[in-house]
Amino acid sequence: MIRVYKNTLKHCKQAEPTILSQVIKQVNDYSEALSNALRYNILLILTNKDMCEEDVELTHNEIVRSSTNPVSVIIIGIDDGEFKELK
């Protein structure tokens, strides 16, 4: 997985700052729209940057919201970032 990530990264322009709440919100909205279906969603986020400080609370709220939906959110910090907001 990491090898594929690093190879893909060579061809992508990274957006900054790292804002995770919007992605998690999209998955939550999708999951809630399919609430009657027997589906489970897994969101895997690979990030190499620290989170935007303004997004920490919104991200936390969306992660809490996902706990009431059939969703697992997995956030993996890659490279040399401190990722203190993710702990």
CB 42 within 8 A of CB 72: yes
- Residue 47: phi, psi to the nearest 5? -135, 145
| Predicted confidence band of residue 87 (pLDDT cuts 50, 70, 90) | low
Helix (H, G, I), strand (E, B) or coil at 70: coil
Element (H, E) at 71: strand 71-77
Which pTM was predicted?
Answer: 0.75
Delimit the domains of the chain by residue range: 16-73
pLDDT recorded at residue 34: 82
- Whether residue 13 is predicted with pLDDT greater than 80 in this model: the reply is no
- Whether residue 24 is predicted with pLDDT greater than 90 in this model: the reply is yes
| Predicted confidence band of residue 7 (pLDDT cuts 50, 70, 90) | confident
Per-residue pLDDT of 40-81, as tens digits, reads: 899 998 887 777 888 899 999 999 999 999 999 998 887 776
